[in-house]
Homo-oligomer: A and B are copies of this chain.
Amino acid sequence: MRRLINDGYDVVEEMLAGYVAANSEYATLLPDEGRVVISKKISEEPRVRIIIGGGSGHEPLFLGYVGENFADAAVIGNINTSPSPEPCYKAVKAVDSGKGCLYLYGNYAGDVLNFDMGAELAADEGIRVETVTVKDDVISSENFEDRRGVAGDVFVFKVAASAAAKGYDLEKVKEIAEFANANTFSMGVALSSATLPVTGKEIFEMKDGDMEVGMGIHGEPGIRREKIRPADEVVAEIYNYLKEHTDLTSGDEVAVLVNGLGGLPVMDQYVCYRKLDELLVADHIKVHKSLVGNYATSMDMVGMSITLMRVNDELKELLDSHCDTPYYKQ
C-alpha cells in the first residue's frame, strides 16, 4: 500500500479535520455533525441553497467546492459510500433560508435512498428540498435515467450554484441543473485500481500495463480490458464514443473537463487535452471553457475521464460567473 494515513478507519474524520483547519476561511464542520461541511461564505440574502455530497475518496469533490457562489454545504459519506440520511437532513436545516434547497449528487442507488430520506425529514418541517442526480457517465447505460454521475458533477454543480447565486427560485434552479445534466457527457479509463484505506488493498486487480476502458470512479466495470494504448488513441476512442452515444454534434459549443482520477500526472492530462482539442477543432465543435486537473478523483487511481457539456448562452454565463472555493476559483 502506498498511502500516507493513520488508522484506515479514521481516515475520513482526519481528512475532514485537516480540511477545515487548512480552509478555515471557506468552510467549517456543522457542530455536533462531523459529516456536514458548511460554507462560511453563504450569501446573506435569502436564496436557494445548494447541497452536494456523496462518498469520500473523490477529493476535491465534494468538500472542495463549498464556498462563495458554489455549494453551501457538502454531506460526506465513508469511502465510496453514501452519507446517512441524518447529515443530509441536518445540512438542509443548517443552510435553508426559506427559499428551499437543491440536493445535487451523482446518480447512485445508496445516495438516492439516503438523500431522499433527508429530504423527507426536511419536508416534515416544511422545508422544500428538490433533487437533481447527475447522470453523465455515458458508458454506464444507454438509458439516461440509469447513468452514473462522475466528473460531470463539477459542471452541473457549478451551473446550478451560479443560478442560485443569481437569486432564481427553486423551480428555475432545478430546471437549469436538469438542462445542464441532460447536456453533460463523460467517459473514462483506468490504468490502476484505487487503494482502500481500511484493507490497504486495491479494490480490484489490475496488472501494470493494463487499462480498463469505461471504468467508473468507484471501480465499476467498463466495457473492455486491454493493454494501455497511446494517449491519442484512447482520447479518440472516448471522444468518438461520446459523439456516437449522445446527440452531441458538429456546430455545438462545449465546456471541456479532462479530469485526472488521482494518480495520473498533470503532464499526461495535457497530452490528452492536446488530442481532444485537435478532434474538437476538426469537428467544428467550439470550446467555450476548458479545465484540466484532478477535479473528481478515485483516491490514487491512475486514470482519466473526459467530460463535454454542451452549452448555450445561459449555461455559458452561469459557467463563467464568479465563484470562490478552495478548488474552484474564478
List residues of chain A with CB under 8 Å of any chain B CB: 1-7, 11, 14-19, 21-23, 56-57, 59-60, 64, 189, 191-192, 197, 208-209, 228, 230-232, 234, 256, 258, 262-275, 277, 290-294, 297, 299-300, 302, 304, 327, 329-330
Alpha-carbon separation in the docked complex, A329 to B68 (Å): 14
Query: Closest Cβ of chain B: how far from A199's Cβ, in Å?
Result: 14
Query: Closest Cβ of chain B: how far from A180's Cβ, in Å?
Result: 21
When distances are taken between beta carbons in the complex, the residues of chain B under 8 Å from A208 are 1-2
When distances are taken between beta carbons in the complex, the residues of chain B under 8 Å from A304 are 4
Alpha-carbon separation in the docked complex, A228 to B8 (Å): 14
Q: Which residue of B lies closest to A304 (CB)?
A: B4
- Are A270 and B15 touching (Cβ within 8 A)? yes
When distances are taken between beta carbons in the complex, the residues of chain B under 8 Å from A197 are 267
The 3 closest A-B pairs by CB, nearest first: A18-B274, A18-B270, A59-B266
Task: From B7, B59, B266, give the contact of A267 (CB < 8 A).
Answer: B59
- Are B300 and A2 touching (Cβ within 8 A)? no
- Are B59 and A18 touching (Cβ within 8 A)? no
Query: Closest Cβ of chain B: how far from A33's Cβ, in Å?
Result: 18
A277-B21, A299-B265 as given contacts; A4 in contact with B56, CB under 8 Å = no
- Are B231 and A6 touching (Cβ within 8 A)? yes
- Are B21 and A271 touching (Cβ within 8 A)? no
- Are B267 and A6 touching (Cβ within 8 A)? no
Q: Which residue, A262, A267, A272, A300, has most C-beta atoms of chain B within 10 A?
A: A267
Alpha-carbon separation in the docked complex, A15 to B265 (Å): 11
Alpha-carbon separation in the docked complex, A9 to B243 (Å): 31
Alpha-carbon separation in the docked complex, A4 to B327 (Å): 24
- Are A274 and B17 touching (Cβ within 8 A)? yes
Q: Which residue of B lies closest to A195 (CB)?
A: B265
